[in-house]
Amino acid sequence: MRLSRQQLLSISGLDLSGLFDDDSDGGSLDAYYCGQLSEFVEKFPVYEADFKRALFIGDNETLSDILTELSDRLVGIHAVDLVQECEQAKESVGAAEVDSEKLESDLLSFWADVATLSVDIQMEQYRAAEDVKPKTRRYPAVIPGKRFSVLVVDDISVTLNLMKAVVQDAGYDFHGVTSGAAAMDFISKFTPDLFILDIEMPNMSGFELAAMLRENEQCAPIIFLTGNTTREYLHKAVKAGAIDFIVKPVNPYITKSKIKKVLG
């Protein structure tokens, strides 16, 4: 799928310097590069399934092979920083003495960063397919002196504590609740400027909560927290109102960037 230059440049994690030089081959290069992005997105769920299976059983040889192939894919789409992270991950996997718990934590964190890139590419592809222009997205009105507030809904307290630190570090007011019911109670008294909703929650999913928020005339943007990055799942989330996604495990730097992209 062909993306505009503006859409390509909006995808963080890519180094596109030199890609858009004004020469006779510029148009074909753009099209070729968009094809590379699509191949990466299509292949990523297979990498992810194989990677997590190998990580679970402790198959370091397979992990190394997957990381090697993934590194080549990341080079092809100019994801320079992730290429470096991938090479570091390969070194960690191949180390003679390995702290298995730390290795697993580091690898899952790296994988979430790669998944975030896959999600961001898919979001721009979706917007291109649906012809969604930036100006049609709903953002909070900028009011001088107003301090934006963010409501985070997640049934895991550890995630809420991490999100609290990120939101407050970004300069916004944080509110956190652990269920959809608590979120509905909150909006009966307050009106947040941004919702960040975990999708997989007991009793009321993030999708169901998003629908109820809209039914109650809550028009603030919604960012979903998710560990599922398949195309079908993301499209379902977009139809439920998602303007963006934060991939678990949460990367504080990427999360802060995404929140500030919405709220400014």
Tokens standing for 54? 């190998």
Concatenating the DSSP letter of every residue in 28-69 gives HHHHHHHHHHHHHHHHHHHHHHHHHHHHHHT-HHHHHHHHHH
The reported pTM is: 0.86
User: pLDDT digit string (tens) for 7-53?
Assistant: 888 898 899 887 765 554 455 567 888 899 999 999 999 999 999 99
pLDDT classification of 137: cutoffs 50, 70, 90: very low
CATH number of 137-263: 3.40.50.2300
pLDDT at 167 over 90: yes
User: pLDDT digit string (tens) for 168-227?
Assistant: 999 999 999 999 999 999 999 999 999 999 999 999 999 999 999 999 999 999 999 998
Based on the number of CB atoms within 10 Å of its own CB, is 123 exposed (0-12), middle (13-18) or buried (19 or more)? buried
Tokens standing for 195? 């919702």
